[in-house]
Structure 1
Amino acid sequence: MPWSRGGSNDAGNLVVACSTCNIEKSDRTPEEMGWHTLPIKRVPKLVKQPKASDPNWMQFASQSELEDLGRLAVEVEEIKTAQSLDLRDRGKIRARCIRRMRRLKGKS
């Protein structure tokens, strides 16, 4: 299930694709695209990020680092908002194109 449709970002739900294929895939599943994916054999281990609520590391942050963390949190929210708007706009464009395609198919 694509992230834009409520799917998770765990390794079992991710599809590795080049940027061209990823754009073509958009918010569809590989099955909806007619793609056959290979199972993931090994999930790379990621470095565990400390939680912002964990005081064990934040107590060592300088004032400028704390300000940077606050700025980054704001930037993340702005990016999430922009992505949401982008997905909404892409969905509208896609719907218009599909309607146009169907109208043209009906004329032929």
Structure 2
Amino acid sequence: MVNCNVFISRLLEPSSKTLLDNNRLLDEFVRMAMPCSLYNGKTNDKNSEILRLAEEFSAKLIHMIEGAYGTLAIYDGILVIFKNNKNNQKESFSYYVFKNLLYGI
């Protein structure tokens, strides 16, 4: 069983950039973090989804960290990992929404 508070707090550490730059580490993190996820989904338009999630959770986007394989969007209530998926040259993203432990929801 994963301790969600400890596990998700790792996203707020400076090393989260390393996670986003390593596909294997990102896949493993997402797999282990799934029980902590509020929900997840897929999108073809990351920017629209970033705005939609802000509206849905009444959350303000604070900061974004871009990596080679994913993006971490930090809101004042949620954290979202967008994982890059490449299918036949069409860009798509899987995303995973977690509670932001610094602010709560």
TM interval, short-chain normalised: under 0.3
Larger RCO of the pair (alpha carbons < 8 Å, separation 6+): 2
TM-score, normalisation: structure 2: 0.19
TM-score, normalisation: structure 1: 0.19
Which of the two has higher C-alpha Rg? 1
| Structure with higher helix content | 1
